[in-house]
Amino acid sequence: MKLAPEGYPFIALFAAATVIVFFAFGMPPAVVPLCLTIFMLNFFRDPDRNVPRGKGAFTSPADGKVMVIRDVYEGKYLQADVKEIGIFMSPLNVHVNRAPCDGRVKMVKHNKGRFSAAYKDEASVSNENIEMVLATEYGDVLVRQVAGFVARRAVCRKKEGDMLRRGERYGIIKFSSRVDLYIPGNTNIRVKPGEMVKAGETIIGEIED
């Protein structure tokens, strides 16, 4: 099973605790750290994905449930009418984030904030988050990794000037969280609120030539 490298310290910690408790106190007390080790292995799993081909498609940047789909004016970075898609990630989802499309990283910005429940609408801008702008052939695209009540850290592995391919891994958010995606306003949305999506695999929307 492939694992995200950010999970190695957590897995090692609880695996070591399991061994220590087992030899010190026996199996029954060791069940707790063993279960936590299994949880960490499951949480930090990083499966390969079948990334769809073809021009004009935007794939989901995260595993989880679509919470928000709406038309907004994004004035902070894009200065354009865009489609906003918010995806909530529960602790049971894969938390590795993937690029929604091909593009060059124009900007990565870490914003400090609160740690309220990630499914709340206001969490998108009030919570701790990392914003990444991609320059694409269809215009700039914004992806925001939002930390939640349990999650205390988002990780973006890319920096300004890096190139990303659709479906490529670029970061992770630890524990429950959300990802907001802002794509061109003329995108035809292919998902609906409440739908479960997979990072790098589910087509969120398409721009027709």
Active-site residue numbers? Answer: 177
Report the 10 Å Cβ neighbour count for 88.
22
Beta strand 80-89 with 64-74 is: antiparallel
SS3 assignment, position 33: helix
Q: What share of the chain is helix, strand, coil (3-state, %, to 5)?
A: 20, 40, 40
Q: For residue 95, report the phi and psi dihedrals to the nearest 5 degrees.
A: -105, 5
Burial class of 118 by CB neighbour count within 10 A (0 to 12, 13 to 18, 19+): buried
- In angstroms, the Cα distances linking 14 to 24, 28, 163 are 15, 15, 36
- Token look-up 């690029």 returns 99
Q: Are 113 and 129 in contact (CB under 8 A)?
A: yes
| Residue among 169, 163, 186, 150 nearest 61 (CA) | 169
Q: Are 78 and 185 in contact (CB under 8 A)?
A: no
